[in-house]
Amino acid sequence: MLLLGFCCSLLLFAATEADAEWRILALRVDFPRENPDELTTTGIGAFDLRSAEQAAEDYALPYDLPPHDRAYFERHLTALARYYEVVSAGRVAISSEVFPRVAQQAYTLPQSMLHYGNGRTTEEIGAKWIELVRDALHAALADPDGPRLDEFNSFLVFHSGVGYETGALNDIRSVFLDESDFVRFNGGPLTVGGVEIEQAWILPESPSLNGRAGLNGLLAKFFGHQLGLPGLSNFADGLPALGGWSLMDVGANASGYVRTDSLAWVTGFAPPHPMAWSKMQLGWIEPVVVRRDTVLSLLATDRNGDLPKAVRIPIDAREYFLLENRQQRGQRGVVEDEDEEKVWIAPDQVTMEESVWVAMEEYDAFVPGSGVLIWHVDEGVMARAADPNAANNQLHWKGIALEEADGYRDIGDPRRAWELQVDGWPDDPFFVGGQTLFGPATRPDSRSNREWETGIEIEVLSAPGDTMQVAIRFGRTRPGWPRDLPGDGRLQAADLDGDGIAELLFVAGGGVGYAPGDGVMPWRIQKRGCWRLETAMAMAGPRFFCGATQKSARGTLGPTNRYGNSR
């Protein structure tokens, strides 16, 4: 269940048909007219079919103007197809059809907007989503000029009105329903006209009634779910986790200004490129894996070229730092009559059809800043999450976290200023002119999520630009390290030198201790849960410790470990 905003399936594996051709069936549905008007929903059940001239006085900006007819939704789906063609470098092809075919008609559902929107428990809300999708598909099949469901592989319902997220108490929640939701709320796929529907999405005709909030970002994010990407917000607390840097968090609502005679604030019209991690999951980019001291150039994620767009620096088999170069493409500065810096684009940077933004020169116009982002990725956290979309539900131990260069973890922290905790900030990336160094002694530092010293040091050598140089150093490692080990315990046995004898590694006060398994430095069980090194150690650390749980040839240190040193 993937709700608009902070919602509730996670790819650590191959994405769902990332390079497939997608055929979207878009159904326009309205509701029996409300008489009298239901005050807990927005509108009276119908699409806004006024002319642009009639609606002009209600719209602060001339964007996504009525009439919200068939052509309006066709233009938005054109915008979606162009966006994914650009951000996927041609790997995703989208075509679509909007029904009913008559320009200003809609399929009127049998129940009121209030009926479909007034669920309170999760089960009630889910059942009403399924009911709405079912009723919409049945209405389409009853149309003599309607669609053939078997010709499509994505099913989208546009309903009249706005969504619960920006509307009233009983407006319909926007959602992407995946296979697990159909199992939970319907007992399995929804079968209509002999076709099994396992995924569907529900969106409003517009997220706003005044032209300031656009539909493009919501379409881009929800189609990301269709491709198999998870939501990356902190859904447990209803908070962002990665901010405006990630389409699959709050980046879909990227905000900035359009500059004409003055600055006009807009949101949701300019979805950013998916972050590097998302592009990796979809198979669009392949990271360069760095295991030894290196200096390399990193290409901005929204530019084409042969240089790497992502760099993976392993901490262990499942935890790593991921580098990407993001560039804020809008113009930043202070304009006349303004006191603060703003980010804006010019109208000629947008391709308009009627009042719909159908294409942009720069989709990263409104990302929070420019420079090298250092993501801290922990696939162990993702794997342990109760729900695939719950990877970022812990504020201080996320599946993916941004190592914010300014030393604060602002994003998702409700104690911080609004734009810091929601979108992020220009000081989040590393660049010459700001913070350049990330390592053992910096803030943030390069320790693992388990507080191990990795010795990894990353230095950004360039000012913001399409190509940025990065130096990566491994201050505490030896050639051939790090090595992937089985399991995730702090006491492990593994054959490191290929001689058929397992060596023992353990966390010690001075770092990671090592004892060869050839009898020179034998370990023995001192007593239940305790290990002892029988000879002097060549490395700093304890000569015995307790608290390990014996499990075959390795142990796991728990929170009550007691270290002892006989020296």
The first and second tokens of residue 264, run together, are 């006009």
Tokens 């020296």 sit on residue: 567
Cα of 37 vs its chain's centroid, Å = 38
What local confidence, expressed as pLDDT, does residue 496 receive? Answer: 65
Q: What one-letter code names the amino acid at 515?
A: A
Q: What one-letter code names the amino acid at 148?
A: R
Question: Is pLDDT larger for residue 542 or for residue 154?
Answer: 154
What local confidence, expressed as pLDDT, does residue 205 receive? Answer: 98
Mean pLDDT of 32-56: 97
| Local confidence band at 542 (pLDDT 50, 70, 90 cut-offs) | very low
Cα separation values, 346 from 245, 302, 349, 464, Å: 22, 19, 6, 21
For 172-201, what is the HEC assignment?
CCCEEECHHHHHHHHCCCEEECCEEECCEE
Cα separation values, 517 from 128, 348, 502, Å: 62, 69, 5
| Preceding omega of 230 cis (within 30 degrees of 0) | no
Question: Is pLDDT larger for residue 554 or for residue 347?
Answer: 347
Q: How many helices (H) and strands (E) does the chain have?
A: 9, 31
- Cα gap 93→84, rounded to integer Å: 7
Question: Is pLDDT larger for residue 11 or for residue 260?
Answer: 260
Q: Residue 251 gets which letter from DSSP?
A: G
Contacts of 273 (CB under 8 A, 6+ apart): 87, 247, 279, 301, 302, 363, 364
Contact 397, 449 (CB under 8 A): yes
Report whether pLDDT(305) > 80.
Answer: yes
Mean pLDDT of 329-358: 93
Mean pLDDT taken over the chain: 86
pLDDT tens, residue by residue, 151-186 = 999 999 999 999 999 999 999 999 999 999 999 999
- Cα gap 43→35, rounded to integer Å: 11
> Is 132 strand, coil or helix?
helix
Cα separation values, 193 from 34, 105, 491, Å: 30, 22, 58
- Cα gap 536→520, rounded to integer Å: 10
CA dihedral 288, 292, 298, 302 (to 10 degrees): 30
In the chain, the N- to C-terminal Cα span, in Å, equals 57
| Local confidence band at 87 (pLDDT 50, 70, 90 cut-offs) | very high
What local confidence, expressed as pLDDT, does residue 501 receive? Answer: 75
- Cα gap 215→212, rounded to integer Å: 10
Range from 27-36, 369-378, 433-442, 542-551 carrying the lowest mean pLDDT? 542-551
The first and second tokens of residue 115, run together, are 């009926």
What local confidence, expressed as pLDDT, does residue 333 receive? Answer: 92
- Cα gap 435→438, rounded to integer Å: 8
Contact 254, 360 (CB under 8 A): no
Report whether pLDDT(344) > 60.
Answer: yes
Crossing angle of helices 122-141/179-186, nearest 10°?
A: 100
What local confidence, expressed as pLDDT, does residue 16 receive? Answer: 40
- Cα gap 420→240, rounded to integer Å: 10
Range from 182-191, 322-331, 388-397, 506-515 carrying the lowest mean pLDDT? 506-515
| Local confidence band at 458 (pLDDT 50, 70, 90 cut-offs) | very high
The first and second tokens of residue 214, run together, are 């656009």
CA dihedral 291, 315, 375, 381 (to 10 degrees): 150
Contact 461, 473 (CB under 8 A): no
Contact 42, 168 (CB under 8 A): yes
Q: What one-letter code names the amino acid at 412?
A: G
| Preceding omega of 204 cis (within 30 degrees of 0) | no
Tokens 């055929």 sit on residue: 23
Contacts of 490 (CB under 8 A, 6+ apart): 450, 506, 507, 555, 556, 557
Contact 213, 2 (CB under 8 A): no
What local confidence, expressed as pLDDT, does residue 484 receive? Answer: 58
Cα-Cα-Cα-Cα dihedral sign, residues 199, 390, 323, 327:
positive
